[in-house]
Chains A and B, each alone.
Chain A
Amino acid sequence: MIRFEQVTKSFPATGGRESMVAVDELSLEAPTGQITVLVGPSGCGKTTSLRMINRMIDPTSGRILIDDQDIASVNPARLRRGIGYVIQSAGLFPHRTVVDNVATVPMLLGTGRKKARDRAREVLELVGLPGDFAERYPSQLSGGQQQRVGVARALAADPPVMLMDEPFSAVDPIVREQLQDEFLRLQDELGKTIVFVTHDIDEAIKLGDQVAVMRVGGRLAQLAEPAYLLAHPIDDFVADFVGRDRGYRALGFSEAPNLPMSNEPSVPLGTTPEEARAATSDRWLLVVDEEVPQGWVEPARIEAPIEPSMLDRGGTVARVHGPLRASLDAALSSPSRRGVLVDDDGRLVGTVRAADVVQAIERVERPEIDPAEIAPTAAPVE
């Protein structure tokens, strides 16, 4: 567990710039084995807070404890070797091969070169970079691959604590989503204590076990689980920052119950127009390939056996007990207005209508508001 106790960081006035409070009386706990996301607009002190945990910056006042040990009493270099650190541009060493980059911390800790490199290869495998990447230089990798190496390098010495400063911000949205998903999968396996900084509230909500929203001036605005944050932002600033579509986005956290499904007639690719017209009386017909939904066709309009190019692919597909957000989206996006549901292997199970999903949504309990947060609170006694 990482604990901030009334931590303040102010930078003195230098060369015409006024002195500035970057972090103001921050008290916060990042529980062991969980992801705590610090999120806020630029200038809210989130990166400064992060960098105080590995003593890249020392607080002006207050204490930071890792597992009840005050880090001010630990030698900075030794402290840092026990804390994984990932930054936006990966910060790889351009003069070292990928495997030597990853072997850095084990070697700093005194592991022999060969053993450290073996370990590095293991970790590279873990982040999805198999053997032949190891001997390349960072400049020979794509941005996404560099970022994976950055994560591998932070994991190499198996530190209990990881600090991540906007690690996925510099890559394109598709790669970012991939990296986020893999990161969550990895964390499921490894259970590190992670403090993660981002300015992207969607990323915060997706990745965080708890999210700390910070406001300009380095003050903590609200600390809560993502679903709670969406349901009960504490004030206008947090509500604004969390953004629109809060109700819809919150559905991402609710697992779909047993929805009333209908059996959907379906035909395989290659079906002739006659067979297709015989298969349904509806305007739209679902096409599958080995039971995996491919898209919709209008039997009345086809004149040749069904090929992939004829399919309407507008409809999304949701897992049966996936998030309600996905089930609703499947129904809303389907040309037939019937949302396609599949099992964990992607095989067709049935379809569901938006109205039925909405009914299910109304039965889902929202996170209860913490009574302590119901305004107005009495002014704290000084």
Chain B
Amino acid sequence: MDWSYVSDHWSQIMERAWQHTILAGVPLVLGLLIALPLGWLAARVRWLKPPLLGGSGLLYTIPSLALFVLMPVVLGTSIIARVNVIVAMTIYTLALLVRTVADALEAVPNAATQAATAMGYAPARRFLAVDLPLATPVIASGLRVAAVSNVSIVSVASLIGVSNLGIYLTSGYDRQYWTEIWVGLVSCILLAIVFDVIIQVVTRLLTPWQKACVA
């Protein structure tokens, strides 16, 4: 382990970590925003559930490298454009979250939603005021899985030349330079932990009643 490599390349490591964060984080948010209405549909319209859950689950089986290479063809972008990776990662996020959102909404206690309707909530307002908050803990746990999965898959994008922490793995392997591989590995793990902690903290802030349940 060559510590001077780390200090010499500190600003580069930070830059790639930031690129990695964008490539993993933006799709996480976009994927969640798209998964919410899709999951809601799956939970609400009975005949839509199998195609939505089956279809989105299938997306996850596409190898990431294939998806990265396919994107420029579909989107008409250049092969090394970051938008390829962002769209592909959004698809993976979606694949994980549609089912989670549907399950989370179905697990909301019936008594609470029925009471909300009986008290005069119109459907859209009820979804935002009652269903969604009560589904938050389950959605958040799905989001944690998706976040860690995104951080790990994004590094594959270095193979098509999109800059992120994965570059340290590919270049370290090419050069048989272990320090570089360690830098890539450890920084990816740290980034995944950061994502995880942020999601947990935000969830706790959004669901103060969860803590009260345990008390």
Show the binding face of A for B, using Cβ within 8 Å.
Answer: 54, 56, 77-81, 83, 85, 87, 89-96, 104-105, 108, 136-137, 139-140, 153, 163
Find the residue from A94, A139, A140 having the highest chain B CB count within 10 A: A94
Do residues B212 and A140 form an inter-chain contact, with CB atoms below 8 A? yes
Pair A87/B212 contact, Cβ less than 8 Å? no
Residue of A nearest to B137 (CB): A95
- Residue-wise interface mask of B (91-134) relative to A, using a CB-CB cutoff of 8 A (1 in contact, 0 not): 00000000000000000010110111111111000000010011
Give every chain A residue within 8 A of B118 (Cβ-Cβ): 54, 56, 80, 83, 85, 87, 163
- A94 touching B121, Cβ below 8 Å: no
Beyond A91-B112, A139-B209, 4 additional pairs, beta carbon < 8 A: A77-B120, A96-B209, A105-B119, A108-B121
What is the CB-to-nearest-CB distance from B181 to chain A, in angstroms, rounded to a whole number?
46
**What are the residues of chain B within 8 A of A78 when measuring CB–CB?**
120
- List 17 A-B residue pairs with CB atoms under 8 Å apart, sorted by A's residue number: A56-B114, A77-B120, A80-B119, A81-B119, A85-B119, A87-B115, A91-B111, A91-B112, A92-B112, A93-B115, A93-B116, A94-B213, A95-B130, A95-B133, A95-B134, A137-B209, A140-B215
**With A78-B120, A108-B121 as given contacts, are A93 and B130 in contact (CB-CB < 8 Å)?**
yes
Interface flag for B207 (CB, 8 Å): yes
Which A residues are in CB contact (< 8 Å) with B116? 93
Main secondary structure of the interface of A (DSSP, over half): mixed
Q: How far is the CB of A149 from chain B (nearest CB, A)?
A: 11
Closest partner residue, chain B, to A80 (CB atom)? B120
Cα distance A169–B180 when bound, in Å?
67
4 tightest A-B CB contacts, nearest first: A91-B115, A81-B120, A80-B120, A91-B111
CB distance from A161 to the nearest CB of B (A): 12
Residues of B within 8 Å of A89, CB to CB, are 111
Within 8 A of A (CB), among B172-213: 207, 209, 212-213
- The size class of the interface chain B forms with chain A is 20 to 34
Give the residue name and chain of the B residue nearest to A94 (CB). Answer: B209
CB distance from B204 to the nearest CB of A (A): 13
> Which B residues are CB-close (under 8 A) to A56?
114, 117-118
| CB-defined contacts of B112 to chain A, threshold 8 Å | 91-94
Q: Which of chain B's residues has its CB closest to A163's CB?
A: B118
- Tell me the smallest distance from the CB of B197 to a CB of chain A, in Å: 23
Which residue of chain B has its CB nearest to the CB of A88?
A: B111
* B123: min CB distance to chain A, Å: 9
Q: How far is the CA of A89 from the CA of B212 in the complex (A)?
A: 19
When C-beta atoms are compared, the residue in chain B nearest to A139 turns out to be B213
- Write the nearest CB–CB distance from A57 to chain B, whole angstroms: 11
Roughly how many angstroms separate A96 CA and B207 CA in the complex, as a whole number?
10
Are B117 and A80 closer than 8 Å at their CB atoms?
Answer: yes
> Chain A residues near B213 (CB, 8 Å)?
94, 137, 139
Which residue of A has the minimal Cβ distance to B212?
A: A137
CB B47 to nearest CB in A, in angstroms, measures 13
Once bound together, how far apart are the Cα atoms of A163 and B117, in whole Å? 14
Residue of A with least CB distance to B116: A93
Are A108 and B119 interface neighbours, CB within 8 A? yes
A325 to B182, CA, bound (A): 86
Q: How far is the CA of A248 from the CA of B67 in the complex (A)?
A: 81
Among A78, A92, A93, A163, residue most surrounded by chain B Cβ atoms (within 10 Å): A93
Residues on B with C-beta less than 8 A from A92 are 112, 115
Determine the chain B residues whose CB is within 8 A of the CB of A85 once the complex forms.
115, 118-119
Residues of chain A within 8 A (CB-CB) of B121 are 77, 108
Q: Which of chain B's residues 27-61 have a Cβ closer than 8 Å to chain A?
A: none
Please name the residue on chain B nearest to A140 by beta carbon: B212
Given known A-B contacts A87-B111, A89-B111, A140-B215, A95 and B209 have beta carbons under 8 A apart: yes
Distance between Cα atoms of A223 and B75 in the complex (Å): 71
A139 contacts B212, C-beta separation under 8 Å = yes
Q: Which residues of B contact A80 (CB under 8 A)?
A: 117-120
A163 CB, min distance to chain B CBs, angstroms? 8
Query: In the complex, what's the smallest C-beta–C-beta distance from B137 to chain A, in angstroms?
Result: 10
Complexed CA–CA distance, A370 and B184 (Å): 91
Partner of A95, one of B117, B207, B215: B207
Contact present for A91 and B114 (CB under 8 Å): yes
Known: A136-B212, A139-B213, A140-B215. Contact between A94 and B109, CB under 8 A?
yes
Complex Cα–Cα for A80 and B119 (A): 5
Q: Which of B120, B134, B213 has the most CB of A within 10 A?
A: B120
- Output the nearest chain A residue to B134 by Cβ-Cβ distance: A95
In the complex, the chain A residue whose C-beta lies closest to that of B123 is: A77
Residues of A within 8 A of B215 (CB): 140
Nearest CB of chain A from residue B104's CB, rounded to whole Å: 13
Once bound together, how far apart are the Cα atoms of A85 and B119, in whole Å?
Answer: 7
